[in-house]
Structure 1
């Protein structure tokens, strides 16, 4: 295997220029380069950021991992490392880098996260909705009339709804407003809990919806905060990637020089 080779297929060494040509010819080069550029930006930022890691936190994280994976026995843990082609030093380094990565995210998102949350909040708020779905408009109108006359929503759902959630009285659970079809969302957003909406035609079926309540997004929610932080960080990485000059050396073979007597 030559010094330039990075892979061997069927005993044939594959050089990096060949890898690039294969990716180019299969039209996968742009995605590959994008992934490499992203990792380049992150690695360089980690090296330049002078991000300190608390060894105690790393060790505790390793302990927690071993407990969760039932690897408290030293022999089992060593076997797991070998099966994953890791040494303890490499594993420790990976955990430490995870801490540095989180610090890097915090560094590049902390100043913007509150304003970004305010911008995204309308799409993060959730509605709790129950639904009654049927496959024709006439039945939907009839069921709405029964509801207006005092029929129990839950009973009609169990008797007529064609969706699997009928066994839970049509309860859809908390749904992000951004994921609700627009024709329904514009009715849901101003509605008060207990309001019936519909019938509405959505994707060839007719639905009657009951608004159970709303769950307003909060930046104190760890999941929401993490989601927004990830989005902001990816925006920052993309901006950095755009500023990187990228040159690709394919190493395409040159055509042979013609013999002297043909020149």
Structure 2
């Protein structure tokens, strides 16, 4: 029995089995199946929890907020935006409702675990703004440390002596996750205050001096931090759900 064409390319029918073969040949079949299963689990979860449905008043307010934030308050501009995105007013409303339900589902799934997970992940969320001077010689690193203690400019020494490209930025590294630092560096940074010089420290066969510019401890009240953790927890929850599902691929020609 011949499969119905899944799509047509240059007037040639492409069956579902061909689509799967192409995805497999391109190394994208696992990702394709994974996304299907992911969306299935999400849709089923949304269906099984009717309390996620927003009230008409809440939904209408969400629509108003969306139009305000995207400068779509003018009726003609909004209609043009709908047409450009292939939406009707009804399908747009449904999209807003689904987004609301997704947010509520994510909140229900993650909120009970959020505080504990934040504590677990905090070391990787805490950041420190650093500048550095990297040299090959321990003797040179110690000499530079002495010059810094006598009032020399960190920026000038970085430009003159550092081996890395960030010397053109006066050695400025920018924010670095505490969790990504080598243990020896993190231990030293944890005892330092902004403006303090740390080192010399041997890292990967070279010698480093660091200046602590700013400490940026993570807080759960930060919306970006909270969103990141919620997304991670939700993805873990989805993965656990997916692992319990028997999946069978049926491809007939």
* Superposed pair shares fold, TM > 0.5: yes
> How far 1:237 sits from its partner (Å)?
0.3
* Residue correspondence of structure 1 range 205-244 to structure 2 within 5 A: 206-244=207-245
Q: Deviation at 1:23?
A: 1.9
- Structure 2 distance, partners of 1:94, 1:248, is 29
* Matched position secondary structure for 2:72: coil
* Stretches of structure 2 lacking an aligned partner (at least 5 in a row): none
Tell me, yes or no, if the aligned pair for 1:18 and 1:250 is still in contact at 8 Å. Answer: no
Q: How does 1:74-223 map to 2 (within 5 A)?
A: 74-133=75-134, 139-157=140-158, 160-161=161-162, 163-164=165-166, 167=169, 170-200=171-201, 202=203, 206-223=207-224
Give the equivalent residue in structure 2 for 1:35: 35
* In structure 1, C-alpha distance between the alignment counterparts of 2:221 and 2:70, rounded to whole Å: 29
3-state secondary structure, aligned to 1:112:
helix
| TM-score, structure 1 as length reference | 0.81
- What is the CA distance between 1:72 and its match in structure 2? 2.6
**Do 1:62 and 1:95's aligned partners in 2 also have CA atoms closer than 8 Å?**
yes
Classify 1:9/1:136 alpha carbon distance in 2 versus 1 (closer, same or farther; 3 Å): farther
Deviation at 1:140, TM superposition (A): 3.7
The Cα offsets for residues 62-90 of structure 1, whole Å up to 9 and x where unpaired, read as 33333343333222221221121111111
TM-score computed with the length of structure 2 as normaliser = 0.84
Distance 1:157 1:139 in 2: 12
What SS does structure 1 have at the residue aligned with 2:112? coil
Distance 1:219 1:248 in 2: 42
Corresponding residue of 1:60: 61
- The answer (yes or no) to whether the contact 2:53–2:97 under 8 Å persists in 1 is no
The structure number with the bigger radius of gyration is 1
Aligned-CA RMSD value = 2.8
Partner of 1:47: 47
**How far 1:136 moved relative to its partner?**
6.4
What is the rounded CA distance, in whole Å, between the counterparts of 1:129 and 1:54 in structure 2? 49
Question: CA offset at residue 42 of structure 1?
Answer: 0.3
Name the CA distance, whole Å, in 2 between partners of 1:203 and 1:61.
53
Secondary structure in 1 matching 2:130 = strand
User: By how many angstroms is 1:230 displaced?
Assistant: 0.8
- In structure 1, what is the Cα distance between the partners aligned to 2:202 and 2:165? 15
- Cα pair 2:109 2:234 within 8 Å, conserved: yes
Structure 2 residue matching 1:212: 3-state secondary structure? strand
Aligned length: 250
Instruction: Provide the rounded CA distance (Å) in 2 between the counterparts of 1:203 and 1:245.
Output: 47
Deviates more, 1:174-183 or 1:96-105: 174-183
CA pair 72-213 structure 1, distance change in 2 beyond 3 A? closer
Rate the CA distance shift 1:81–1:208 in 2: closer, same or farther, 3 A: same
Farther-moved stretch of structure 1 (238-247 vs 20-29): 20-29
Deviates more, 1:91-100 or 1:121-130: 121-130
Deviations 1:158-211 (A, max 9, x none): 5555644755x5444442212334453343233344432223455676532112
